[in-house]
Amino acid sequence: MISFEMPKPIVNLTSMTKMVAENMMRPVSRYFDDHEHEIPWDYINFMHDASQQLGGAMVTEEPKEKKEEEPEKKKYPPIGYQRLAHMAEMLSWGDTGLYLCSPVGLLGAAAVSATGTPEQKKRFLSRFQGDKPVFDGMAMTEPHAGSEMPSMTRTTAVLDGKEWVLNGEKIFVTAGHKALVDSEGFIVVWATIDPKAGRAGVRPFVVEAGTPGCTVTKLEHKLGIRASDTASVVLQDCRIPFENILGSAEIEEKTEKGFKGAMATFDVSRPLVAASALGIARATLEFLKEKLVEAVVSLRSGLPRSRMTNLEREVTDMEVMLRSAWLLVLKACWMMDNRKPNNLEASMAKVKAGDVVVKITQRAVELLGPLGYSKEILVEKWFRDAKINDLYEGTGQINRLIVARRILDYSRHELS
């Protein structure tokens, strides 16, 4: 059963991340938005040192089996992904672009955690416990296709002896430059081992920094999350060890087992993207309420809607949207922690949070008038940062399709 009481480890983590958000992120938020692609090393180094106390890569926590001789003491249920959701929300309250620079294992690590073997998890995720910050990324999108990329993958992986040879181009790789150039990190590249097999032939491969034939060719200039680099990567006769394939190299006829295994990554990452979105939404709503109070605008609560002013109803509706979306995030993460399938819940959380953050930030800009549209405060930045949460890790439209298919029990051929 889901408990609404926050476990003490999460309370402690939230307290720490709040201090980081207030003292290390908010003060430099505008600077790194204005100086796109400048790397926030002070924040990165601090988070690297702090993460070592929490075990390095944050996505790898698994419930430990109780030893028979272990003495009885107060136990908490598995909370690894719930803990990470709280961290993502609070750090994004500070600054979501800086949060995406955290060297704690994000999208690439999530792919390894979701689909890798125990040996692969140890090999790749142990890097986050080293002396230097390490970054990771996931390379899915290709220039000719957006959300339909998995069924239209042109990047190929051909087995040559004991090596895979990758050829293709990937775009919009979050933290791609940091992973491949600025650290000894890695990206997870989705490629097909058999173009004729369609989705069944798609597999994820780990490409490590310094691998010949893997080149970062471009950094995007973006609307929001400017502190986080978004790169284009070209793979030209890029050779990686056979062991760097995540999952089986065998293609099972008329199944998409390999593809579905890789897509399990999104069941991990989508609730965390949703949590990040809600951090932006909470920051915006809190600031809006502060400004309204300063302007001596009444914000009564607990009254029938008919007795509220229009502004009071709007603020109340924003609170409801924010809290209901957060409950969806907690449920999806609780299910992941307890090893329950959460494909539906992960997509529901992502859809709701993506909607909520865009609506709250947009309305805050409107209600604050010229101040909200100016760079004097951070609301206009939060508005720009918000939209990406409805786009990456599967657009709102794609996630709505997933939700509909799961609820109605339709296949992708029946509902597309």
Following CA atoms 304, 309, 311, 314 in sequence, which dihedral angle do they give, to the nearest 10 degrees?
A: 30
Tokens of 41: 């090393």
Neighbours of 350 (CB within 10 A): 34
- Compute the distance between CA of residue 335 and CA of residue 269 in angstroms, rounded to an integer: 13
Tokens of 254: 């008329």
Three-state SS for the chain is CCCCCCCHHHHHHHHHHHHHHHHHHHHHHHHHHHCCCCCCHHHHHHHHHHHHCCCCCHHHCCCCCCCCCCCCCCCCCCCHHHHHHHHHHHHHHHHHHHHCCCCCCCHHHHHHHHHCCHHHHHHHHHHHHCCCCCCEEEECCECCECCCHHHCCCCEEEEECCEEEEEEEEEEEECHHHHHCCCCCEEEEEEECCHHHHHHHEEEEEEECCCCCEEEEEECCCCCCCCCCEEEEEEEEEEEEHHHECCCCCCCCCCCHHHHHHHHHHHHHHHHHHHHHHHHHHHHHHHHHHHHHHCCCCCCCCCCHHHCCHHHHHHHHHHHHHHHHHHHHHHHHHHHHCCCCCHHHHHHHHHHHHHHHHHHHHHHHHHHCHHHHCCCCCHHHHHHHHHHHHCCCCCHHHHHHHHHHHHHCCCCCCCC
Is 393 known to be catalytic? yes
- Compute the distance between CA of residue 212 and CA of residue 200 in angstroms, rounded to an integer: 28
Say which of 256, 312, 345, 393 is annotated catalytic: 393
The Cα angle at residue 231 between residues 225 and 236, in degrees rounded to 5 = 170
Neighbours of 332 (CB within 10 A): 30
Catalytic residue IDs: 393
